[in-house]
Structure 1
Amino acid sequence: MEDQQRRVAAFVDDHDLETPPTYRLLDLVSEVGELAKDANESTAYGAEPDDIEISSDEVGDVLFALLALADDLEIDAGEALEEALEKYERRLEEDGSASSGN
């Protein structure tokens, strides 16, 4: 993931797309909202869950926004993912569920 994060950072820099992390977070939420919209529309708002359709382009937009945010916050996305996987593994071993239970 380190390579992808560097590619996003270079793209942002090359195209003068710098913006504060707060705006990056809002962009990420907006992009995730587009995924939800696609899911809602393709499943008749949940009535036909097996019919879900989400484009890879929209997933790519979410990844771009997330990696740009991580870079702005000086968070290594790969390390953050490893930490999350370890956390979920611990939860599964302890409780049988990856959920935080909140």
Structure 2
Amino acid sequence: MPLSYEHQVSLLTDILNNHQTDCCGSVAECEQLERLIKSLMVNTQIDAGVKTVLEEVYRYSQGGRNSSDLDSHILSHQNQLAQWVEDIGQLS
């Protein structure tokens, strides 16, 4: 059973919140972010502002997936993580 738009956004923000509060994460979480974003981006009713944020998060997740030090990657994006969660919450 596929996740609804609301559940996808909730899962996306949960992972980003965990990265922000824990300052660590896993490659699997980065891959999950990418899958969620790909799924959300095909939604024709999604707001353009949300798409912009999703594109930024996608680049972040790709960087994390390919990083030799994922925790440092997450730590270096602390301000963006908080902003993305806020932006997605306001726009979705």
Q: Which bracket does the TM-score occupy, shorter chain normalised?
A: 0.3 to 0.5
TM-score normalised over the length of structure 2: 0.39
> Which has the greater radius of gyration?
1
TM-score normalised over the length of structure 1: 0.36
Structure with higher RCO (Cα < 8 A, 6+ apart): 2
In terms of fraction of residues, the more helix-rich structure is: 2
